[in-house]
Structure 1
Amino acid sequence: MTAPSCRPTLPVRDVDDLLYRAAAYLTCHGWTPKGLYKTHGRCFSICPEHGPFCYPASTLGAIRVAVFGHNVVRLDNISAEARHTYTAAVEWLNTYLLAVGYAGQHASVFDWETAPARTRVHAIGALQEAAFAYRRQAEQVAA
């Protein structure tokens, strides 16, 4: 019988890709620091300004688009596996922002994103840096 491995395991292999995709979504469609998506009026359908579900999003909204393939407001109709994937990406981003920080602030994702003077460039950069850190950690665990 061999001793169990004490090496840390990472919950989902695709977290880095999801965070990179979320950053790409913000690059293409814009960012909002509040809520999940920035809509206007009754815009949760096809509209000339946003097209089909292409709203500016918060980092969490962008991660939802990366995981689920479209805007998702409620998670009650999402499979357990998809919710796990989403949660893993959010947990990693939150841990990264608390432990490492970005743009001069160490805080939870909610506090970090709504800080004064936060910009879309900061949100995109934080997602990209968290993705890079996840990939680096995964490579170290695999070595």
Structure 2
Amino acid sequence: MTRPTSIPDALRLAAVYIGRYGWFRGYLYDSHDGCQRNCHVHRTGMFPASMLGAIRAALVGRPKWYLNTTPDGTAEAYAATLDHLNRHLTNYGSAGLRAPVIPWSNARGRTAAHVVAALRAAASTAPRQPFDGPAGLAPVVPIRPARTPANRASNGAALFPLSRPA
């Protein structure tokens, strides 16, 4: 697989991935537990994927659980592709349902053929600009951990003023 350069490319390659390696109703990839590790999945490293996992695999070239170890721009490309897919499935729908990606893909009666068709349809409505094109992609904003009493105190600031008993 070659690295896609636009949202339509990523969606088309995700459809190819699911067509070739299978669809997984769940989050990212089928962990494929229970086999003797002597199957096609374990030999190739290409696991059946959900829509989210197939997009990641299309962007990276193989299944990838974490995007923080991918080339620069991959997380932004993933976010832009997933955003478009969400908008497409919510506005146009596919296979008789309008819903965001996860509820759409987990709907009763969903098949791999529905998923492949939805990815191809979303590719046809996606903007053709390259990921690093003139409009660029919004950066992924790192989320800092929530401030809890434990880490506030470690910064030297007391959460509650201590009062002495009378």
What TM-score do the two structures reach when normalised by structure 1?
A: 0.79
**Residue of structure 1 in register with 2:39 after alignment:** 48
Structure 1's unaligned 5+ residue stretches are: 1-11
**Residue of structure 2 in register with 1:5 after alignment:** none
| Percent identity (aligned) | 33
Q: What aligned pairs does 1:28-67 form with structure 2 within 5 A after superposition?
A: 28-41=20-33, 47-50=38-41, 51-67=43-59
Q: Which amino acid aligns with 1:100?
A: Y
More off after superposition, 18-27 vs 30-39 = 30-39
Displacement of 1:114: 0.4
SS in 2 for 1:76: helix
2:29 touches 2:50 (CA, 8 Å); kept in 1? yes
Query: Is 1:86 aligned with 2:78?
Result: yes
Structure holding more helix per residue: 1
Tell me the distance in 2 between the aligned counterparts of 1:42 and 1:33. Answer: 18
Q: What aligned pairs does 1:1-143 form with structure 2 within 5 A after superposition?
A: 14-41=6-33, 47-50=38-41, 51-134=43-126, 137-138=127-128
Displacement of 1:68: 0.7
Displacement of 1:122: 0.5
Tell me the distance in 2 between the aligned counterparts of 1:67 and 1:89. Answer: 10
Q: How many residues align?
A: 124
Give the CA RMSD over aligned residues.
2.0
Structure 2's unaligned 5+ residue stretches are: 130-166
Q: Which amino acid aligns with 2:59?
A: V
